[in-house]
Amino acid sequence: MGSATLDDVAKQAGVSAKTVSRVANGERSVRPETRERVLRAIEALDYRPNLLARGLSGAHAYTIGLVFDNPNAYYIIAMQQGALAACDDMHFGLQIRPCDSTASTLAEDLRDFVHRSRISGLVLTTPVSERTRALRKLAGYHIPFVRIISAARDPRDDIPCVYVDDRDAAYAITTHLLQLGHMRIGFLQGGKRHHASAERLKGYKDALQHYGLPIRDELMVEGDYVFDDGFRGARRLFDLAEPPTAIFGCNDEIAAGALAAAQSAGLSVPYDVSIAGFEDSPFSRHSWPPLTTARQRADIIVERATRMLIARIRDEPVDNEGFNPELVVRGSTAPPRPKSRQRKRR
C-alpha cells in the first residue's frame, strides 16, 4: 500500500493539489496532457487515494462507507435506509462497516478499510464519531468524512458534522413530566461511551433545576442502552422508600424495559407510574401503552450526513446542520395518581 500523499503527487507532476484531486475525481476540465502527467505520477508513487477507482476507470459512481458501533438493529436499519436514499439519488454505492469504537487502532482500521475497499469517504456515527484522537489521525490520512454527533450547538471546527440537540429534547421530555405534576422523576442512563447519554442527562438536570427541584442521586441509575438494564434500573427505583412517580429512560429500549418492570410489579402505566423514552423507535410505538418519547429520525439524520459527505468529495461547499428531536406525547404519561389511590409496589 502506497504512503504517498496528494501533495507528493502534485509536486512530482508539477501541478496543484486541486488538479490532482480533479484527475482522481475523473473531471473532464483537466487538459489531456496534464491528466496523463498526473496519472504517471500516481503510478510512480503508488498513490492510493480513496477516489482513485473512479478517476482511473471512468465509472459513474463512487462508494462511501457508513461506520457504526451500535448493537441496536432498528438504529442500524434506519441509518442504512437514510444513507441508501442519498446514495441512490446521487449515484453512489454504499458499504456498511461495523467496528469497535474503543479500539486503539480505530483510525488505522478505518484507513485500511478505505484503501482495501476503495471507499471515497466515510459517514461516522456515534460513538465512533466521538473518538477525537482517532478522528485527527483519520484526517491526517486525507480521508474525507462527516461525523454525526450529539451537541447543543454547531461546534464550528474544521470537521463537517450533523449535530443532534439531545440535551434540549431531554429537557422537553422532563419538562413535560414536571408539568403533569411529577416531582420525583427517575432517570435511567445510557452507556457512558455515548456522548448523547451525558447530553440527555444534562437536559434532565437542567429541567429539574429550572423548576427549583433538587437533583437526587438515588433517582439516577446507570446502565446501557438495552432492555434488560431498563428493567433492572426500574425495579431498583421501585424499591426505594419513596419511589418516583415517573421514569425517563435514556432511549426507548430502556423505557420499554422499565415498562415491563412496572407491569411485573403490578403497577399501572401511566396511572401508578409514567414512563417516557427517547428516539421514537419501534419500542415506543409497539409498547402498550405506547411510549411518550422524542422523535429522532436516524434515517433523515444519516441521509443529510451522507449528502454532506458527497458534497465534500465533490469539493462543494459544506455547512454543518443541526437537528432537534421533537417531543411526542403518547399514552404512557399522565398526571400522577393521588397517593391514597396508588397501588402498593410488589
In this structure, the answer to whether residues 160 and 67 fall within a common structural domain is yes
For residues 23 and 41, the answer to whether their CB atoms sit within 8 Å is: no
Phi, psi of 207 (to 5 degrees): -65, -45
In this structure, the answer to whether residues 185 and 289 fall within a common structural domain is yes
Distance CA 296, CA 277 (A): 11
Most confident range (mean pLDDT) of 7-21, 308-322, 331-345 is 308-322
Lowest mean pLDDT among 125-129, 158-162, 166-170: 158-162
Tell me what percent of the residues of the chain surpass a pLDDT of 70: 90
For residues 332 and 256, the answer to whether their CB atoms sit within 8 Å is: no
**In the prediction, which pLDDT does 346 show?**
53
Residue 131 located in a structural domain: yes
pLDDT at 329 over 80: yes
| HSE-up (13 A, CA, CB side) for residue 259 | 27
**In the prediction, which pLDDT does 341 show?**
53
Residue 26 located in a structural domain: yes
Each residue's pLDDT tens digit, 7-41: 888 888 898 887 887 776 656 667 878 878 888 88
In this structure, the answer to whether residues 187 and 272 fall within a common structural domain is yes
Each residue's pLDDT tens digit, 142-160: 899 999 999 988 888 878 8
In this structure, the answer to whether residues 237 and 287 fall within a common structural domain is yes
Burial of residue 338, with CB atoms counted within 10 A of its CB: 0-12 exposed, 13-18 middle, 19 or more buried: exposed
Residues 6+ apart with CB under 8 A from 271: 334, 337
Q: How far lies 59's CA from each of 6, 26, 89, 240, in Å?
A: 21, 9, 16, 64
Tell me what percent of the residues of the chain surpass a pLDDT of 90: 62
The DSSP annotation for 115-159 comes to HHHT---EEE-TTGGG-HHHHHHHHHTT--EEEEEE-SS---SSS
The CATH code of the domain that includes 224 is 3.40.50.2300
Each residue's pLDDT tens digit, 175-215: 999 999 999 999 999 988 889 999 999 999 999 999 999 99
The pLDDT of 52-62, averaged and rounded, is 46
Residues 6+ apart with CB under 8 A from 29: 22
In this structure, the answer to whether residues 22 and 146 fall within a common structural domain is no
- Cell output for 216: 437526587
The pLDDT of 306-313, averaged and rounded, is 93
In this structure, the answer to whether residues 71 and 209 fall within a common structural domain is no
**In the prediction, which pLDDT does 55 show?**
41
For residues 241 and 247, the answer to whether their CB atoms sit within 8 Å is: no
Distance CA 274, CA 332 (A): 6
In this structure, the answer to whether residues 204 and 283 fall within a common structural domain is yes
In this structure, the answer to whether residues 231 and 268 fall within a common structural domain is yes
**In the prediction, which pLDDT does 49 show?**
56
Extended beta strands in 151-295, E state: 161-164, 185-188, 220-221, 246-249, 274-276, 293-295
Terminal alpha carbon distance of the chain: 64
pTM greater than 0.85 = no
Strand partners for 149: 163
Number of domains in the chain: 3
Residue 1 located in a structural domain: no
Q: Tell me what the pLDDT averaged over the chain comes to.
A: 88
**DSSP code at position 192:** T
Each residue's pLDDT tens digit, 221-270: 999 989 999 999 999 999 999 999 999 999 999 999 999 999 999 999 99
In this structure, the answer to whether residues 13 and 111 fall within a common structural domain is no
Residue whose C-alpha is closest to residue 161's, from 145, 142, 146, 173: 146
In this structure, the answer to whether residues 71 and 206 fall within a common structural domain is no
